[in-house]
């Protein structure tokens, strides 16, 4: 009788262990699937971001976009490419420098609230920064364009 009870306990424990192992396997599979989805979504966002970087670079090179506005936008976009931010900062310092030098300036509604004199002071400061960094920014842009296109190709390959 004791042997039968012991056998039933062992069978119950083995059954419970098998249940836990199957549950763990299912959770691991779900985690891998979720991770793959998250990586794919990040990759998709990065490709769209790089498309925007390329578009802004071309507009700036063709002088369809002011240096300060373009550097502001490029800096924001490139900072969102978290896997590449250190490399981008190192390779394109003039773009980030121009943004850093003007980032304290008010924009949109905050700019509208300024007096004409305050706006003029900020405009003069911005133009001075643009003039000081113009050559270096255009050098960075000429390098950033092919770099971004190459990075997009790499990310697109990862999507497939």
Half-sphere exposure of 88 (CA within 13 A, CB side): 24
Rounded CA separation 15/19 (Å)? 6
Task: Give the model confidence (pLDDT) of 95-119 as tens digits.
Answer: 999 999 999 999 989 999 999 999 9
pLDDT for position 32? 95
Q: What is the mean pLDDT of the chain?
A: 93
Half-sphere exposure of 14 (CA within 13 A, CB side): 6
The share of the chain scoring above pLDDT 90, in percent, equals 80
Q: Is pLDDT at 158 greater than 80 in this prediction?
A: no
Half-sphere exposure of 60 (CA within 13 A, CB side): 28
Q: Give the mean pLDDT of 59-85.
A: 94
Rounded CA separation 93/140 (Å)? 8
Rounded CA separation 12/70 (Å)? 68
10-32: buried (b, 16+ CB within 10 Å) or exposed (e) per residue? eeeeeeeeeeeeeeeeeeeeeee
Rounded CA separation 152/49 (Å)? 9
pLDDT for position 157? 84
Q: Give the mean pLDDT of 112-134.
A: 95
Greatest CA separation found in the chain? 99
Q: Is pLDDT at 159 greater than 80 in this prediction?
A: no
DSSP class of 84: T
145 — pLDDT class (breaks 50, 70, 90): very high
Residues 6+ positions from 59 with CB-CB distance below 8 Å: 65, 70
Rounded CA separation 103/83 (Å)? 23
pLDDT for position 8? 87
pLDDT for position 93? 96
Task: Give the model confidence (pLDDT) of 34-70 as tens digits.
Answer: 999 998 899 999 999 999 999 999 999 999 999 999 9
The share of the chain scoring above pLDDT 70, in percent, equals 99
């Amino acid at each position: 009788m004791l042997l039968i009870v012991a056998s039933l306990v062992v069978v119950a424990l083995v059954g419970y262990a098998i249940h836990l192992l199957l549950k763990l396997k299912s959770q691991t599979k779900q985690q891998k699937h979720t991770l793959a989805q998250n990586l794919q979504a990040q990759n998709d966002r990065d490709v769209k971001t790089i498309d925007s970087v390329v578009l802004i670079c071309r507009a700036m090179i063709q002088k369809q976009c002011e240096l300060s506005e373009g550097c502001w936008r490029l800096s924001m976009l490139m900072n969102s490419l978290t896997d590449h931010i250190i490399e981008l900062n190192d390779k394109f310092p003039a773009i980030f420098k121009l943004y850093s030098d003007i980032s304290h300036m008010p924009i949109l509604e905050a700019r509208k609230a300024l007096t004409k004199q305050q706006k003029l002071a900020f405009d003069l400061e911005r133009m001075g920064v643009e003039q000081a960094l113009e050559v270096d920014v255009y050098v960075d842009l000429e390098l950033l364009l092919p770099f971004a296109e190459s990075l997009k190709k790499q990310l697109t390959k990862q999507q497939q």
